[in-house]
Structure 1
Amino acid sequence: MSKIAVNKSDLVDLISEETEISKATAQRVLNSFLEAITLTLRSGKSLTFPGFGTFSVKARAARVGRNPKTGEPINIEASNVPNFKAGKGLKDAVNSGSVVTEEEEA
């Protein structure tokens, strides 16, 4: 399996090609989608895409860590972190090498 990363520009190109819309429109759609996920998570709600996965927020407790350079203990504050749990459809698609689209699931 290749370890080449896809960046946002590559994703915009793919969306543009797959949907036959302009790159500018694809970029606006992608930006809106990412903003919707961010706003949903910021409000404390989770976002589920059946067959793909669930985006949620997990609370991380305060803890004592170590400065890797000096070994000195440091206090790390509690925080909320985004979390993603892959759904069965995504897991199966990754392991089979094929992509299942919404139309094919129906």
Structure 2
Amino acid sequence: MTLTKADLIQKVYRQHDLTKTQATEVVEAFLGIAKRSLQEGEDLLLSGFGKFNVKQKNSRRGRNPQTGAELLLAPRKVITFKPSGILRNRINGAE
């Protein structure tokens, strides 16, 4: 099962004394801050959850799988996630 943004808003609404509008604003504000930070190349560290990193990938040689033709893949940025030890232990059932 996937947790969607709508599900997250619903959970915030139910667990806190907020209106649905307020819960939506809280979730949207957090996601907006997170997106801007990552777009600016900043890491995002959420204690007890994990760390999102922006990494630069260099250009590299690749191959078109359909034709077999070689091509040059452009440099790009990727986002990686490393869970915290606390989260990893909870997922694995070792609290």
Q: TM-score, normalised by structure 1?
A: 0.77
What number of residue pairs does the alignment pair up? 95
Counterpart CA distance in 2 for 1:53 and 1:96 is 17
Counterpart CA distance in 2 for 1:73 and 1:22 is 55
Could you tell me which of 15, 24, 28 is aligned with 1:27? 24
Q: Measured at CA, do residues 89 and 68 of structure 1 come closer, stay the same or move farther in structure 2, by a change above 3 Å?
A: same
Could you tell me which of 73, 77, 86 is aligned with 1:76? 73
Q: 2:42 aligns to what? A: 45
Please state how far the C-alpha of 1:87 moved relative to its aligned partner. 0.4
RMSD: 1.8
**1:77-96 counterparts in 2 under 5 A?**
77-96=74-93
Please state how far the C-alpha of 1:68 moved relative to its aligned partner. 2.4
1:96 aligned counterpart, secondary structure: coil
For structure 1, the 5+ residue unaligned runs are 99-106
Q: Measured at CA, do residues 71 and 50 of structure 1 come closer, stay the same or move farther in structure 2, by a change above 3 Å?
A: same
For structure 2, the 5+ residue unaligned runs are none
Please state how far the C-alpha of 1:97 moved relative to its aligned partner. 8.4
2:6 aligned counterpart, secondary structure: helix
User: Which residue identity does 1:42 align to in structure 2?
Assistant: Q
